[in-house]
Structure 1
Amino acid sequence: MSDIIQLLPDHVANQIAAGEVVQRPASVVKELLENAIDADATEIKLIVKDAGKTLVQVIDNGKGMSVTDARLSFERHATSKIKAAEDLFRLNTKGFRGEALASIAAIAHVELKTKQAEDDLGTSIEIEGSVVKSQEVAVTPTGTSVSVKHLFFNIPARRNFLKSDTVELRHITDEFHRVALAHPNIAFAFYHNGSDLFNVPQENYRQRVVHIFGTKTNEKLVPVEEETEVLKISGFVGKPEFSKKTKSEQFFFVNNRFIKSPYLNHAINAAFEGLLKDSYHPSYFLNLTVDPKTIDINIHPTKTEIKFDDEHTLYAILRSAVKHSLGQFNIAPVLDFDQQGNFDTPYSYKNKVAATPAIEVDRDFNPFANDFGGGRQSSSRNTGFKSAPTASWESMYVGLESKGNESSSDFSQVTFESETKDESIFTDSSIETRKTTFQLQQKYIVSTLKSGMLIIDQNRAHQRILYENFLKHITIKEATSQQLLFPLHLHFTPNELKIIEDLKTDLGHTGFVFSEMNAKEVVITGVPVGVPESEVSIILEQLISDVENDVPDANFSAADLLAKSMAKSLAIKTGQSLNSTEQEHMVNSLFACKEPNVSPTNRPTFVTMGVDDIEKKFM
């Protein structure tokens, strides 16, 4: 039998490795930004075209590379960060495995320009699919510029799996946020298709958070500071009243590296226990500084997951620090061990017995002295006021004994005003009215059929009803709005404002009226009929979350997504009690829909049980 195992060619191995490191344009952005940070850059520019599918370019003013280093940087496992395996546990830099540039060059057209400060001329290298096309001397400023064009040009299957430009741009923006938040001492600029999305200068951490997530964020932040031998914590958590239904504002940074840790996230949720509404998530921007020897950051290709030596200790410290900050700033009640000393009992009174308070009573005082002409004179004579003579106070009770027997009958003659009964003009007393529906567990509506029983999921059914109504209004562009007495001012991040601006027309067709929309806030003066003012911000946040996770390209699909999102936000929830009229209206409205069988998310809205099925249960 012939041998069947063979070594893969280098270009195939590089493409396989690229699949682990480069999943989408955002992966390229992350690797290039981290390389620029490792080069000690103080100013970094990110230029993106067509959500990174056409171009991703990172320009920095770092220390640059020599001619030899520029060429070697594209070789696999070529790195200046580690020399031995032990160095993996003493890492203070971002990139260290030497896979990023080699992987990117295997699946894109890459152009590198770099120059060191002591050199007069720099180096320019062009690579296409791991093949070096040219390397020559070039005039370029100090630092490095890396341009990645036509990503996945030689792997069409991977390119076809990329999402729409809006989705890919969101992923790039998320990576930009993570890097920019971790390094407030570096100035960043982000351009997409020639427009300026972010331009943040060197600043402190609080200013960086406010610059990225909007000026309204400043009032939401609660500082968190704690330093122990094991862990140092600094950063901010959001106030509970500003919590969101999404996890878009949750950032952990360990040694200036963004990570994802469900275990530490649980510690934050435990600190907020009792302060958040159901299905709401706290915001936090926390920097954790630990000894590099106590963590392993080499367990995931993208290095977003870290293994800690002692997670339980970190959990306890993090939870206590956050809880202390919430109590210190009067966000949550805590035991105050630093209370003022004047509230404490002095030591000199420690062994003393409490003395019984003395009570002095003037036994000669008679408040009715004027009426009887005796006793002490009334205080009115002393104050200069003259009191009018009054009858004896005993006359108030004269005759009560004779009327004692009649008093019980007086209450029997008291009549109470009965409630007005609103009877329908069509009510016929000869027709027996009976309840045709009832609610089960405040979740299902049960109704009878000729052939058996109908069980309706009230949440899914209401979603179907609202979905078709919203879709109809968007399609025919005839929706009724209710004007607000006072305009509603809502604040969002720049990325969220861009999404609302794209959907502004469709939102207007559903009944929303926008009077103003700028870089800081959205002003709403009208909402769809039946939408409470308090629900507007929740609806828009849910809509933004849905759009970020699945953005369609076609206009009809955008309207469809908008209708689904609003229906999901406004539908009655499980646990809401409905009276008989509301239950019957729900049943009638559901079966008036075009597709009553399924919800907008293609889940069944009702099930039926025939008489035969019920009889089988008793066999």
Structure 2
Amino acid sequence: MAASIIQLLPDHVANQIAAGEVVQRPASVVKELLENAVDAKASDVKLIVKEAGKTLVQVIDNGLGMNTTDARLCFERHATSKIRQAEDLFDLSTKGFRGEALASIAAIAHVEMKTKQNQEELGVHIVIEGSKLVTQEVAVLPQGTSFAVKNLFFNIPARRNFLKSETVEFRHVMDEFQRVAMAHPSISFTLIHNGSEMYNLPSSNYRQRIVNIFGGKTNEKLVPVAEDTEMIQISGFVGKPEFAKKSRGEQFFFVNDRFIKSAYLHHAIMNAYEGLLKEGNQPSYFLYLKVPPHTIDINIHPTKTEIKFDDEQSLYAILRSAIKHSLGQFNVAPVLDFERDSNLDTPYQYNNKKADYPLIQVDSNYNPFATEKPASRSLSTFGSYKKEASTPNWESLYVGLNQDTQELESFSFESTAVTGKLFDDDAVELKASSTYQIHKKYIVSSIKSGMLVIDQGRAHQRVLYEQFLTSITMHKASSQQLLFPLELYFSSDEMELLSQLQPSLENTGFVFDAFNSDSVQISGLPIAMLESEVSIVLEELISNLHNEIPESSFSQNDSIAKSMAKSLAVKTGTYLTAIEQENLVNSLFACKEPTVSPFQKNTFITLTVEDLDKRFAL
């Protein structure tokens, strides 16, 4: 009989495999520990992170705490206080329920837990390393629980190598922190990263919590949404269309106080904004949905960010109509008003009354030319104007005026006739243009072998890209000073990103006067940029770099140059004069890589005479 080849995995190996689903990065640990603190009915939660969670993720809460038995049992697989039978999965009101999180975290990190219940005098202190219990002892502790997860993936170096830079990982940590904090505004949250306090959110309502996270300017952007039906209760806020951005950052769905992602419900919102947004723009929204727990399944995804609804089509229609109603109610959407303004109605007593015409007195004997000579083009004209006045002896005001102005009459004045041309015909000799623009998209230029067809947008991207990259690396950028400093508002995480990009942006020509907690003051811009384009360029730059910021400075500079070139390049539909066309063509072929755009797409194609002959031979 052949030897068996199927074996049961050891517990520590099974835990490590399960950890691959539950714990993908430090942010996964943050999510699980914060949700446990919320389930423990804490009113104050503190998150402490070092090196974006790679070194330390610690969550301290003042919740119910655990006794000695529960403290040891919570690290076992599928040990949970949330469910007792399989049917409970379809009637959940808590966050964690499968009992996998703590076991998975303990399998791949050094975990230190301190917990005490209110009625107990002493608490318990447990240390676990790679699923192995190191110490368990009694300790004097405050009420609540403290979880410290250190050296994540210490025993799986391959997984640790797949982690991104500290900036990217901390961005994911902040995302998870914001989601839990927004779902529970009654709980106060604090986030400390590498010793500095990033957030301190007091207990508040939904609107105040959103403003505290995303900055004071957010308040004026919000439009409240409210709808209550038997199937769903909707509350929250949507952003005004004029504040829509290119990025999809500030978009949040919460179902029964749990953050979820739903492309289907997002489509309902975009449908409600139809006709209000510029192409490519995304509205912000913070929507809280309450549905009966038995109508949803939240166990279809390991991270529980996707859920299944029983009747998605009805939810789609309700959500879309609720948002349309809110946008119309707050005069955001265009509406037709057929109500008559009563102020414009004719009063009843004036109904049959004739209009009174104003009386005009005309002196039929007045002749302005009777005692005056014809007006001449001299300064004396202003002194010899005769007007009937009621002031006695008014003539004495002008005695001697004619004598004083006799000398002025002899002066000749330079003609200021407008010719309609900036230069005379013989002053500037323009040669016939060798380039032509087609459909405001392509530039055609003749060459010896045939002709070039150049994509004006891609060509301009290449020119700007090399200019910006040279400016950043050589530290020699020119700036145009603004008459009045420009102040732009961003959320706290966007400000964090801008502060890191500040040196590179200054090398492109930006001049920053001040970096505040939620705003930045700019007094100088790159030469090629208009003041109206600044906010668009910076928003697109933040959007492009938000998730994947390269670790090396060169790659980061390359990304900045690409993003700014794409934002500032001429678009399809822009008319270019003959001089602008020639300058663009000359600048393109002065580049190091004129054949492709920064995004590796062809900037031009060549049509030879032979190609044209073949087409005509058909």
Q: Output the TM-score relative to the length of structure 2.
A: 0.86
| Superposition map of 1:148-547 within 5 A | 148-334=149-335, 385=361, 387-389=363-365, 423=425, 427=429, 434-547=432-545
In 1: Cα distance, 2:87 partner to 2:424 partner = 85
In 1: Cα distance, 2:242 partner to 2:264 partner = 24
Q: CA deviation at 1:361?
A: 11
Residue type matched to 1:488 in 2? L
In 2: Cα distance, 1:149 partner to 1:579 partner = 63
In 2: Cα distance, 1:586 partner to 1:74 partner = 65
Which secondary structure does the structure 2 equivalent of 1:503 belong to? helix
| Distance change >3 Å, CA 379–CA 45, structure 1 → 2 | closer
Which secondary structure does the structure 2 equivalent of 1:549 belong to? coil
| Distance change >3 Å, CA 420–CA 54, structure 1 → 2 | closer
Residue type matched to 1:126 in 2? V
Give per-residue Cα distances to partners, 1:193-237, cap 9 Å, x unaligned.
000000001001111011000011111111111111111111111
Of residues 159-168 and 502-511 in structure 1, the stretch that sits farther from structure 2 once superposed is: 502-511
Q: CA deviation at 1:308?
A: 0.8
Q: CA deviation at 1:616?
A: 4.7
Of residues 84-93 and 537-546 in structure 1, the stretch that sits farther from structure 2 once superposed is: 537-546
Of residues 317-326 and 456-465 in structure 1, the stretch that sits farther from structure 2 once superposed is: 456-465
| Distance change >3 Å, CA 189–CA 581, structure 1 → 2 | same
Q: CA deviation at 1:560?
A: 2.3
Q: CA deviation at 1:508?
A: 1.8
Partner of 1:77: 78
In 2: Cα distance, 1:93 partner to 1:611 partner = 73
Give per-residue Cα distances to partners, 1:110-161, cap 9 Å, x unaligned.
1111111111111122222222222222222111111111111111111111
Gaps of 5+ in 1: 346-356, 368-377, 392-415
Partner of 2:389: none
Q: CA deviation at 1:341?
A: 11
Which secondary structure does the structure 1 equivalent of 2:485 belong to? strand
| Distance change >3 Å, CA 12–CA 424, structure 1 → 2 | farther
In 2: Cα distance, 1:162 partner to 1:596 partner = 36
In 2: Cα distance, 1:524 partner to 1:223 partner = 32
Which secondary structure does the structure 2 equivalent of 1:448 belong to? strand
Residue type matched to 2:324 in 1? K
Of residues 26-35 and 507-516 in structure 1, the stretch that sits farther from structure 2 once superposed is: 507-516
In 2: Cα distance, 1:379 partner to 1:205 partner = 66
Give per-residue Cα distances to partners, 1:331-376, cap 9 Å, x unaligned.
1133679x79979x9xxxxxxxxxxx979799xxxx9xxxxxxxxx
| Distance change >3 Å, CA 314–CA 179, structure 1 → 2 | same
Of residues 244-253 and 597-606 in structure 1, the stretch that sits farther from structure 2 once superposed is: 597-606
Partner of 1:580: 578
In 2: Cα distance, 1:145 partner to 1:340 partner = 65
Give per-residue Cα distances to partners, 1:248-272, cap 9 Å, x unaligned.
1111100000011111111111111
Of residues 96-105 and 504-513 in structure 1, the stretch that sits farther from structure 2 once superposed is: 504-513
Residue type matched to 1:604 in 2? N
Of residues 194-203 and 594-603 in structure 1, the stretch that sits farther from structure 2 once superposed is: 594-603
Q: CA deviation at 1:614?
A: 4.4
Which of 574, 592, 595 does residue 594 from structure 1 map onto? 592
In 2: Cα distance, 1:112 partner to 1:291 partner = 35
Residue type matched to 2:485 in 1? P
Partner of 1:113: 114
| Superposition map of 1:22-101 within 5 A | 22-101=23-102
In 2: Cα distance, 1:127 partner to 1:424 partner = 90
Residue type matched to 2:263 in 1? P
| Distance change >3 Å, CA 539–CA 3, structure 1 → 2 | same
In 2: Cα distance, 1:336 partner to 1:419 partner = 49
Q: CA deviation at 1:603?
A: 2.9
Give per-residue Cα distances to partners, 1:46-82, cap 9 Å, x unaligned.
0000000000011111101111111111111111111
Which secondary structure does the structure 1 equivalent of 2:566 belong to? helix
Residue type matched to 2:152 in 1? L
User: How many residues are treated as equivalent by the alignment?
Assistant: 563
Aligned alpha-carbon RMSD (Å): 2.8
| Distance change >3 Å, CA 358–CA 216, structure 1 → 2 | closer
Partner of 1:406: none
Q: Output the TM-score relative to the length of structure 1.
A: 0.85
| Distance change >3 Å, CA 171–CA 361, structure 1 → 2 | closer
In 1: Cα distance, 2:461 partner to 2:420 partner = 40
Residue type matched to 1:484 in 2? L
In 1: Cα distance, 2:36 partner to 2:464 partner = 50
Q: CA deviation at 1:601?
A: 2.6
Q: Is the 8 A contact 2:171 2:547 kept in 1?
A: no
| Distance change >3 Å, CA 425–CA 288, structure 1 → 2 | same
Q: CA deviation at 1:25?
A: 0.6
In 2: Cα distance, 1:185 partner to 1:592 partner = 61
Give per-residue Cα distances to partners, 1:78-121, cap 9 Å, x unaligned.
11111112111110111111111111111111111111111111
In 2: Cα distance, 1:111 partner to 1:484 partner = 55
Q: CA deviation at 1:558?
A: 2.9
Percent identity at matched positions?
A: 64
Residue type matched to 1:297 in 2? I
Partner of 1:562: 560
| Distance change >3 Å, CA 360–CA 209, structure 1 → 2 | closer
In 2: Cα distance, 1:460 partner to 1:513 partner = 28
Residue type matched to 2:477 in 1? A
Give per-residue Cα distances to partners, 1:564-604, cap 9 Å, x unaligned.
22112111122222232222221111110112222223333
Residue type matched to 1:512 in 2? F
Q: CA deviation at 1:387?
A: 3.1
Residue type matched to 1:540 in 2? L
